[in-house]
Chains A and B, each alone.
Chain A
């Protein structure tokens, strides 16, 4: 369960975000608005990467714990950007290994987990590939796998489908939402696209908290 309690963000006295909401495990809540409206600022506050110029009040509660002042790496909040942001100097397996918790010990055990993850997404045999040589859809899947392997307690999606072409878009979107539901992860989607919001199936809000009709 991811809860935002009166999360208010201002910059130079201008109110950008004002949200109070609760996302159940497996539920997808959407924040929608035009660019510059503060959607991504809300995500930055939840991941803990808000630039110093912004001022934040209110609390962020994940599974009952207040994570508002924890460093990003301890929050267990997964994030996917518009682009896959794969690490260009690591192989596909290297990228996935970076997300896999270190509690999975031993070279073989880790390799097996990575191979299983790739197989589950239909990416068999791509472990040693240079990420730059993958197709757009493959890159998006690898990025999703990397996020999920880190076993996040919440998932944030920053317009992750906007760079994909229409056919691929629906397919990837569906697999992301399915994965989140299956794993029971509360998910917050930020988008300016009404189609994405409809596919998410959950409530749709503006950054300032108002409910939006679709």
Chain B
């Protein structure tokens, strides 16, 4: 009986937005009671051992504090989890789904939200939500121009930074045009992950920002009428860049760690990552030489947030919400920002934190290769998700299928 009531409460959860703090707290207690003893299957990309270790640590916290068991389902691609939920929907499975929580953003979020595959809204009712820096970091509520509307909860900020080894390269290029010049002068020492990989497509979008006359149109969905004209400079740029790339652009690394490994192996001189603290963390782990430093482009680089979302048919919604809330906990956020652990940027507003929580962040060393918030410069907003899809498709048609 208890179980049924709690489930009914859960079902009503999205409608609670208007309730008082006290009523909310009471509802949250019911969620916690329901979550105790649940096993939450978090489908998250599993290609990076440091992130895997961090998720394991979060699982220990969840177990200690709330009696929630966290299972990390390691994915090769986030789309695996989306496909899974989609298949369950197609099979008519509206309850007891296999996926409880997904690490998600961008086009995957847009696809799931538009097809009604997400549970919610829930994020803005989480107890730790008031700590999120919504005003200072608008990307926490706008995912690739799409308002999140509480259907996903942020847990990390990311920004594109470039990495290089000062032993091999003294003066790295500072903008998109000089990257082309540098690569032409130093053939075979640059590459990017193969689209539709996330980081690879981000590189294409960064190029778009650099070669377009008016990047503001990127905030609107792709318009078929103007798409060809608007993207022509991108393809022209790539046509010139590709012959100078690593392997003559006949092969590409498949993702961010593979690109990082090429830098570590000395196969390329410039790499990049969607994580300003990655280089420091890799140096700390002994995977990169301590002469590696990072830089950003003048005019700024693209930044966004990572989120977690709960599928409409998740078997353990309460447990999933508890994990989403735990990820916003200052202790967890500070650990994620520690360059020795992950080096992810926090989504929280440090001014909103209690002094002892703020002290956790103040105590963090930036790491030898990490730029300070001021040095990181302006954050360029993610273009509308339709750009990512279209550009990746066209890239595949142009460069991905034939010699």
Asked if A and B form a direct contact in the complex, defined as CB atoms under 8 angstroms apart, the reply is no
Residue numbers of A with Cβ under 8 A of B are none
